[in-house]
Amino acid sequence: MTSVLVTAPIPQSALDILTQAGLEVESYSGNGLITKAELLRRIVGKDYLITPLSTQVDRDVIDADADLKLIANYGAGFNNIDAAYARTKGIPVTNTPKVSTTSTAEVTTGLIITLAHRMVEGDHLMRTKGFAGWSPLFFLGHELAGKTLGIIGMGQIGQAVAKRMAAFDMKIVYTQRHPLPAATEASLNATYATLAEVIEKSDVLTLHCPLNEQTHHLLGATEFAAMKDSAYLINAARGPVIDEAALLDALKSGQLAGAALDVYEAEPHVDDGFKALDNVILTPHVGNATVEARDAMAAIVANNAVKVDQGADPLYIVN
């Protein structure tokens, strides 16, 4: 019988799709992430691999299973997989794009608003020493109306963020390899600019670009020095797009007013320096952590395995 290895707990709906199609499913349900040793042991003889982006699928793993016909990544990213090597073996690698757009855009919007209005700081204050009462100059944040939102990466998520923040009367500037069509720019009230211009103009700068060789440490000490000292930085893309050591220095020195991070350079590790700062919000990679998004992702990976098993091409091949 054709078999599938699922390396982390995923919605039951995906397992139902697989079993109803006649596939034998083996699921890892241990504590924490599956280890490489466990993955190497379990993958032998499996036809399809369904794995979250937190699991590394390198050459050793790919070579351990001569029967492997598909690697279905449960996540929009796929930096955890050696997709180029898989291609040399004739193994398609797929991801789950698009379905994370709404959730990630909503999380980004929430982080922007929460950071500007110091809501996490306020919650901490009320849970500890409290406050003496309303005062004209007490605990001031900033309104977003009239401010400039800079977006690095204007794909589906970037556009969804622009749409939401334009409703807060923010000016939108963005950068990526190529400008959007004029009609799309007009609908979002967004203006194309160079990376340097976006960095310099932004009151809030949010990242929605992929992680690759060109974007690794896209923002570092030079870029932070060029930003307004009143600016906020949001990262719900990929951790290594930011040089975190440089960001921590910039926050400590007052080069930036604050940051909100949902992803981390050495994830899941978070530098203790960020934890000590009141003007930093830290969330545990929850960009697409909604029932709706995760169910949609589950359907994609399961149906892709079924498609390949039935002789069809899977959706969203990345290699």
Provide the pLDDT confidence category of residue 135 given band limits of 50, 70 and 90.
Answer: very high
Span 20-44, average pLDDT: 95
Provide the pLDDT confidence category of residue 244 given band limits of 50, 70 and 90.
Answer: very high
User: According to the model, what pLDDT value does residue 1 have?
Assistant: 80
User: According to the model, what pLDDT value does residue 232 have?
Assistant: 98
Provide the pLDDT confidence category of residue 20 given band limits of 50, 70 and 90.
Answer: very high
Residue 220 pLDDT greater than 90, yes or no: yes
Q: For residue 285, indicate whether it is catalytic.
A: yes
Provide the pLDDT confidence category of residue 76 given band limits of 50, 70 and 90.
Answer: confident
Q: List the one residue out of 260, 278, 215 whose CA is nearest residue 241.
A: 215
Residue 60 pLDDT greater than 90, yes or no: yes
Residues 249, 225 contacting (CB under 8 angstroms): no
Provide the pLDDT confidence category of residue 85 given band limits of 50, 70 and 90.
Answer: very high
First to last CA, the chain: 27
Q: For residue 267, indicate whether it is catalytic.
A: yes
Span 267-296, average pLDDT: 96
**Catalytic pick among 42, 118, 238, 294:** 238
Average per-residue pLDDT in the chain?
A: 97
Q: For residue 177, indicate whether it is catalytic.
A: no
Provide the pLDDT confidence category of residue 80 given band limits of 50, 70 and 90.
Answer: very high
User: According to the model, what pLDDT value does residue 202 have?
Assistant: 98
Residue 67 pLDDT greater than 90, yes or no: yes
Provide the pLDDT confidence category of residue 77 given band limits of 50, 70 and 90.
Answer: confident
Span 251-265, average pLDDT: 98
**What is the Cα–Cα distance from 109 to 102, expressed in whole angstroms?**
10
Span 152-159, average pLDDT: 97
